[in-house]
Structure 1
């Protein structure tokens, strides 16, 4: 099968925030919220800065050796694990929480983008080596968010009661999940292979975190992807001094609030910090720590109302760092303390909240990586590409609303003149003549004439809409075709990459799908990509 790539501006998709679009445009307002530009020169500078501050390599490699101890690693992955031992090696990092069946397509896009950028940088010979890393946020506790994904437009849902970090959950209910998967993918080219991977991974895993580690490994290890599970005592021990500072001084909240004083007025603040940006694991729960409403020395684990004074919490932290977990404001610092990050690849929301965090990194004397928006794309299957070609719907048309596409195509196809532009123009001229006569008699009549003119023009516009609706009814087939295409490519009005499981592409094309994406995305994100399946 052949593939035809094209691209458009992110702004033309009507699918991304003004923050992401202005950041991609390198607007000056973001200079104070970043350390380096999202380009090759910025990455070179970030690499030098990160290595001057990074001290965690020995423990990182010990943890990775343990995590990969019983895992079969392809040659490129083995080489990358070995490269991480070198003082000249940096990481290109993407992160996501574990999601049923690996999650939507954008998870794969993050991973493949990290691989593409690392490979590109290695070819440029900056004097450093780069390794792609996927950080698995298995301590997140929002089960509802991770328990389902759409596959071929049908919901696959892990049904069970759950509490606490999702990565620590048992695989209770996975037999039923497997039945759902089997029923949906039956007949797909790679169905048997995918079910085999599921069964093998299920048999080898006791927790959802372990399952996701091996699942992602199965699909992306051949690209050299290193997966890190940061829910680890040795890694968290590295954070004890910083988390002590958080418990004593709420330093991260102060840093973010300082940054937000300069936040651009026309851009949404992605998240606001709490007084303590840490969680505590107890009784199977991940509980928020807070001193709100307490005397200054008392801190509470909110769910179970566990109260300790500051020094008692510090003692627990020093003895049991694995019982603590950073929230969205301290997780990036944890990641970039553990890893020698030169670049963080993130989605629109991730980039937006990372832009709030530079002061935290500065306060902790940690290297703030280049923030690279992840690759984003629309994959159009052969059947719908043929339909689009016949309907003469181009890249920009695709991102218009269904009503606007249908209206424009009806106007093109109809033998009737559907708009009343000529008549409305004539009506406007007629009222202008009436106004001249009225003003000769009484200047106070101007408002009355203008009011009647507006009413008449609006009536004509309403009539025009009725004419177009009538023509739509006569073109029901066209309307249905456009609606069906839009619903497939933009399920529930959203980009497919945000809804549809990455597994759907693999089921049709196997790992060739990753190669097509790899070849067509940019290492430095500039444009939104469209990939069309074409006839041979």
Structure 2
């Protein structure tokens, strides 16, 4: 069973993203086309005309090389090969190299991407659509990715990390593998997950290779293509835009203007561009490039360049120039024949700052698709909610609101004083009529008395609610426990739980079920009930 509710009503999405989903007129200048199945006709046409078709050969060459050591499905092989053809396009999501996929929404991003590609193929059969997972191999925020949560425990990889995370050696992860052996238990599903972790992280040398293997194992049968864009051949196709950022600060100037417009509309900003939005990436160095006087410096190192030397380095070693969050979207759209980017609320928020930059660089701006969001809950949880007379949607309230609602619903006494307040207002209407015939001081006295009596009713209502909460304490606690279980730390489940916690119970049915239920064009929050069973030895 599945229930949906609007993103805005969940309380977990910003006004910017809610307004985007609701197609606010104010936001239309900040994106190209809102994603609908019909709008992709023009998106295909525009991308076909603007994309440098020479990039296809290099893209296929890099992908084939990266897939050499992987067991590759026929669908993925077909997708890679089809990228040679000018009638093939990609739809892309990106994600960090989180340990063992990190939070649950990693799955939702990729399933949204797979289903979007499938839907486009059904509606535009003359074209091919390749679902791509762009690995963020050049990130350096190790503390964001070096753990995953399981049963309220943080399973963490402790190592000294320097440079881009994709280059990190997986040495030392055998200790975490031993911890997982204990934590996951002995069920069939647990044994599968433990084996998956071992092969991914103990039989691959770098974090990029391990993550590619893992994503391919989980989604390869559905034709997913995993790309590591940290490659000299691909970056050489982006050298013009790299130079524009270094010399003309194109991104800084354009994104500043767009961001200022969003700020004036009252929206918070996700990305603040720098004059230079590139890191210098070499061996274990990943440091910002800054311009001081006539030199370009690599921060926290002794490396410096003149402008001529730096531009020559871009030509000779493009792989040493790593785009930050402001430039990475443009890099993606230059090297891929891409139609849509599928991301979370935070990602789409910074994409909405980039359109004028894309226009300045004459690169087609992709359609922005908010990934599916899901709350998964078991049939056992559903049964408990039914017994308590609570709907799954009620759990999106704050704990105080949920407790108050549940108390009012189950109290044998009517806690709602609306009728009394309406009667009071009626009485004061008559008094106000009388006050109009007297002086101003009497009118003020009537208003003061009305406020006092309304406050008194509010106080009594709160006292009665508090008393009934105590009376229904046991039942309220059961509801709040369910909420705490499904919303860890009062946050969305998908931002905290790792897929392993669900897979232990649901097994190999999990991903097919998500693919069956998630619709990238639905644009609502999905609450999905799963029938749980667990095979044990």
Query: Shorter-chain-normalised TM-score: which range?
Result: over 0.9
Which segments of 5 or more consecutive residues in structure 2 lack a partner in the other structure? none
Partner of 1:111: 110
The aligned residue for residue 273 of structure 1 is 273
Residue from 314, 317, 333 that aligns with 2:314: 317
* Aligned length in residues: 530
- Cα 1:368–1:431, aligned 2, differ >3 Å: closer, same or farther? closer
Say whether 1:392 aligns with 2:375.
no
RMSD, aligned CA: 2.3
Identify the residue that residue 502 of structure 1 maps to in structure 2.
499
Which is further off, 35-44 or 235-244? 35-44
- Spell out, residue by residue over 1:233-255, the C-alpha distance to the aligned partner (whole angstroms, 9 max, x if none): 21111111211121111111112
Counterpart-to-counterpart distance in 2, 1:446 and 1:534? 64
User: Counterpart in 1 of 2:287?
Assistant: 287
Separation of aligned partners in 2, 1:216 and 1:236: 23
Q: Is the 8 A contact 2:173 2:202 kept in 1?
A: no
Structure 1's 304 and 118: CA in aligned 2 closer, same or farther, altered over 3 A? same
Work out whether 1:72 is the aligned partner of 2:71: yes
Q: Which of 484, 489, 494 pairs up with 1:487?
A: 484
Does the aligned pair in 1 maintain the 2:174–2:202 contact within 8 Å? Answer: no
SS at match of 2:179: helix
Give the direction of change, closer, same or farther, for the CA distance of 1:127–1:410 in structure 2 (3 Å limit): same
- The structural deviation recorded for 1:76 is 1.8
Cα pair distance change 1:466/1:43, threshold 3 Å: same
Structure 2 Cα separation of the partners of residues 420 and 510 of structure 1: 50
**Structure 1 residue 440: deviation in Å?**
7.4
* Paired position in structure 2 for 1:474: 471
TM-score, normalization: structure 2? 0.92
The residue matched to 1:16 in structure 2 has which SS?
Answer: coil
Answer whether contact 2:171 2:205 (CA < 8 A) is retained.
no
Answering whether residue 364 of structure 2 is matched by residue 360 of structure 1, we say no
- Give secondary structure in 2 for the equivalent of 1:510: helix
Structure 2 CA distance for partners of 1:423 and 1:357, relative to 1, 3 Å: closer
How far apart in 2 are the matches of 1:67 and 1:481? 50
Q: How far off its partner does 1:211 sit?
A: 1.1
Q: How does 1:338-417 map to 2 (within 5 A)?
A: 338-417=335-414
- The answer (yes or no) to whether the contact 1:38–1:370 under 8 Å persists in 2 is yes
Counterpart in the other structure of 2:143: 144
SS across alignment from 1:155: strand
1:196 — aligned with what?
A: 195
CA contact (8 A) 2:155 2:176 kept: yes
What residue number does 1:247 align with? 246
In the TM superposition, 1:41-60 aligns within 5 A as 41-52=38-49, 53-55=51-53, 56-60=55-59
Partner of 1:184: 183
Kept in 2, the 8 Å contact 1:12–1:396? The answer is no
Report the alpha carbon displacement of residue 318 of structure 1 after superposing the two structures with TM. Answer: 1.7
Distance in 1 between the 2:63 and 2:482 partners? 45
Q: In structure 2, what is the Cα distance between the partners aligned to 1:410 and 1:343?
A: 46
With 261-270 and 493-502 compared, the bigger mean Cα shift is at 261-270
Secondary structure at 1:41's aligned position in 2? coil
Rounded to whole Å, the distance in 2 between the matches of 1:111 and 1:436 is: 65
Aligned partner of residue 39 in structure 2, secondary structure? helix
> Could you tell me how far 1:265 is from its partner in structure 2?
0.9
The structure-2 alpha-carbon separation of the partners of 1:535 and 1:228, relative to structure 1 and needing over 3 Å to count, comes to closer
> Residues 417, 120 of structure 1: CA spacing in aligned structure 2 closer, same or farther, 3 A cutoff?
closer
Report the equivalent of 2:462.
465
TM-score after normalising by structure 1: 0.93
Distance 1:210 1:101 in 2: 13
SS in 2 for 1:162: coil
1:289-310 Cα deviation digits (max 9, x unpaired): 122xx32x32222233643222
Q: Residue 334 of structure 1 aligns with which residue? A: 331
Shift of 1:509: 2.1
Which SS does the other structure have where 2:9 is aligned? helix
Aligned residue in 1 for 2:513: 516
CA distance in 2, matches of 1:387, 1:62: 54
Once the 2 structures are TM-superposed, how far is the Cα of residue 127 of structure 1 from its aligned partner?
A: 2.0
The answer to whether the 8 A contact 1:298-1:308 is kept is: yes
* Range with greater deviation from structure 2 (437-446 or 329-338): 437-446
Deviations 1:118-171 (A, max 9, x none): 111112235210010100001111111111222233222222232221111122
Alignment check: 8 A CA contact 1:136 1:230 kept? yes
For 1:484 and 1:54, the matched residues in 2 are separated by: 55
Aligned partners of 1:203, 1:163: CA distance in 2, in Å? 20
Provide the residue aligned with 1:303 in structure 2.
300
Aligned-pair distance for 1:260? 3.1
> Per the alignment, do residues 22 and 436 of structure 1 end up closer, same or farther by CA in structure 2, a change over 3 Å counting?
closer
- Give the CA deviation at 1:341: 0.4
Distance change >3 Å, CA 433–CA 121, structure 1 → 2: closer
Displacement after TM superposition at 1:41 (Å): 2.4
Question: Which digits, 9 at most, give the CA deviation of each residue in 1:180-209, with x for residues without a partner?
Answer: 323332145510011111112223211111
Q: Cα deviation per residue 1:460-482 (whole Å; 9 max; x = unaligned)?
A: 32232232222212212212111
Aligned mates of 1:481, 1:139 — CA distance in 2: 45
Instruction: Name the stretch that deviates more: 332-341 or 198-207.
Output: 198-207
In the superposition, relative to structure 1, how do residues 348 and 247 fare at CA in structure 2: closer, same or farther (>3 Å)? Answer: same
What is the Cα deviation at residue 492 of structure 1? 1.2
Check 1:302–1:428 CA distance in 2 against 1; reply closer, same or farther (3 A cut).
Answer: same
- The verdict on how the C-alpha distance between 1:160 and 1:22 changes in structure 2, with shifts beyond 3 A counting, is same
The equivalent residue for 1:228 is 227
